[in-house]
Amino acid sequence: MNRFLRRLATALIALMLAATCVVHAIDPLPFRDRAEEVRFQNLTRQLRCLVCQNQDLADSDADLARDLRKEVFDMMRAGKSDADIKHFLVARYNDFVLYDPPLKPGTWLLWFAPFVFVVIGAIAILRILRRRTRAAVAVSVHAPSHTEDDW
Amino acid sequence: MNRLLPLLGFFALVGLLGFGMWWNAHHEANEVPSPLIGKPAPEFALPLLYAPSQTLTKKDLLGKPYLINVFGSWCATCQYEHPILMAEAKKLGVPLIGMAWKDPPAESQRWLQQFGNPYDTIMSDADGRAGIEFGVYGAPETFLIDAQGVIRYKRIGMLTPETIASELNPQLAKLGAGGR
């Protein structure tokens, strides 16, 4: 029994290790050198696969993703900059292909809403604090109290 | 009033949740709106499925509105859409051009032979290059292109009698073509 459990544990650990190996959907693209490959990987990791929408282009095994990787590779070879390549894809597939939403009027709400909420929260806390201090002062004037604030 | 504030906050969140649920029920969350609507359709020059030596280009089609329906024999949803196209295509009042996307021509031909051909013309985009230019990311997709070659409407997913009536026909009517 003990041996069985140990074997099971070993098998499970092996399985988990295997799962953590990053699997890349690699098609044999003829990279010139390491730098080109790194650039390609960086770029495709910033682009979203439109078929499996929570995967990036580097990782997706979808057929269209393979085509788009080829497209990106060809554009790199044609001397296009990363910005050019992104622009090409955005023009056809919308900002949605970019994992990082660009800052523009349409996305102001997305980018700035969190800060607005923080400011609202800060104002609320300040007001509550001020009211409590005032109340505490009023109380201590009338009768010295030793109770702490209860929040 | 101050005591009610947390309760009101709670109801506000419930309202937001309800709105979110309603929104998701009425919108296709996976749908990526095409940035090409209102823009000139990309140039294309594709071989005809049944006459590969001839090519069909965007210029050939200028002058009157037409529809491009992207399909493939490998595409499951296209099989559901197919009988609807068979029934509706002739009533639309504009040419329906098929684009066999990422599909070997022999496969497209076999598929059409089996189920019937609702298209006026079919071009073959076997390597999917033209599809990328059109921003296609899943078949079926349907584009309405006007006489000047501008994309006026795009349907992602299958055309149904309902979407034809509620979306496509009004767009066709705007172009003064078909659209009963």
Could you tell me the residue ranges of all domains in chain B?
Answer: 1-30, 34-174
**Whole-angstrom distance, CA of residue B128 vs CA of residue B78:** 16
**Whole-angstrom distance, CA of residue A69 vs CA of residue A48:** 11
What is the pLDDT, as a whole number, of residue A149? Answer: 57
Q: Is the pLDDT assigned to residue A37 strictly greater than 60? A: yes
* pLDDT tens digit sequence for B145-156: 999 999 999 999
What is the pLDDT, as a whole number, of residue A23? Answer: 46
Tokens matching residue A69: 């990787």
Tokens matching residue A120: 């609202």
Mean pLDDT calculated for residue range B101-113: 95
Q: Is the pLDDT assigned to residue B179 strictly greater than 60? A: no
Q: Is the pLDDT assigned to residue B64 strictly greater than 50? A: yes
Q: Is the pLDDT assigned to residue A1 strictly greater than 80? A: no
Backbone angles phi, psi at A128, to 5 degrees: -65, -45
Fold entry, domain B34-174: Glutaredoxin (3.40.30)
Mean pLDDT calculated for residue range B68-74: 95
Q: Is the pLDDT assigned to residue B180 strictly greater than 70? A: no
Q: Is the pLDDT assigned to residue A22 strictly greater than 50? A: no
Nearest CA in chain A to B35: A94
Q: Which of B31, B77, B103, B137 to mutate to test the interface with A (most CBs of A within 10 A)?
A: B137
Distance of CA A35 to the CA centre of its chain: 25
Confidence of residue A26 (pLDDT cuts 50, 70, 90): low
Name the CATH architecture for the domain at A2-101.
Orthogonal Bundle (1.10)
CA distance A93 to chain B (A): 5
Asked if B36 has any chain A CB less than 8 Å from its own CB, the reply is: yes
* pLDDT tens digit sequence for A56-87: 898 888 889 999 999 999 999 999 999 999 99
Asked if B74 has any chain A CB less than 8 Å from its own CB, the reply is: no
What is the pLDDT, as a whole number, of residue A139? Answer: 76
Domain ranges (residues) in chain A: 2-101, 107-142
Least confident interval from A17-21, A29-33, B106-110: A17-21
What is the pLDDT, as a whole number, of residue B16? Answer: 95
Q: Is the pLDDT assigned to residue B116 strictly greater than 80? A: yes
Nearest CA in chain A to B33: A94
pTM comes to 0.74
Asked if B13 has any chain A CB less than 8 Å from its own CB, the reply is: no
B102 contacts in A (CB within 8 Å)?
63-64, 67
Share of chain B above pLDDT 90, in %: 82
In DSSP terms, B144 is beta-bridged to: B67, B153
For residue B104, cis peptide bond before it (omega within 30 degrees of 0): no
Least confident interval from A44-48, B71-75, B95-99, B176-180: B176-180
**Whole-angstrom distance, CA of residue B97 vs CA of residue B57:** 12
User: What's chain A look like in SS3?
Assistant: CHHHHHHHHHHHHHHHHHHHCCCCCCCCCCCCCHHHHHHHHHHHHCEECCCCCCCECCCCCCHHHHHHHHHHHHHHHCCCCHHHHHHHHHHHHCHHHECCCCCCHHHHHHHHHHHHHHHHHHHHHHHHHHHHHHHHHHHHHHCCCCCCCCC
**Whole-angstrom distance, CA of residue B44 vs CA of residue A109:** 38
CB neighbour list of residue B52: distance below 8 Å, 6 or more residues apart: B105, B124
Complex ipTM, two decimals?
Answer: 0.77
Say yes or no for a CB contact (<8 Å) between A64 and B133: no
Mean pLDDT calculated for residue range A1-8: 69
What is the pLDDT, as a whole number, of residue B58? Answer: 94
Nearest CB to B132 within list A53, A71, A94: A71
Asked if B133 has any chain A CB less than 8 Å from its own CB, the reply is: yes
* pLDDT tens digit sequence for A90-148: 999 988 889 888 888 888 888 999 999 999 999 999 999 999 998 888 777 765 555 55
Tokens matching residue A45: 């990791």
Tokens matching residue A135: 């109340």
**Whole-angstrom distance, CA of residue B28 vs CA of residue A18:** 36
**Whole-angstrom distance, CA of residue B100 vs CA of residue A8:** 50
Q: What angle do CA A69, B157, B129 make, to 5 degrees?
A: 30
Tell me how far CA of residue A32 lies from CA of A35, A39, A47, A73, B115, in angstroms.
Answer: 8, 11, 22, 11, 47
A vs B, Cβ pairs < 8 A, gives: 36
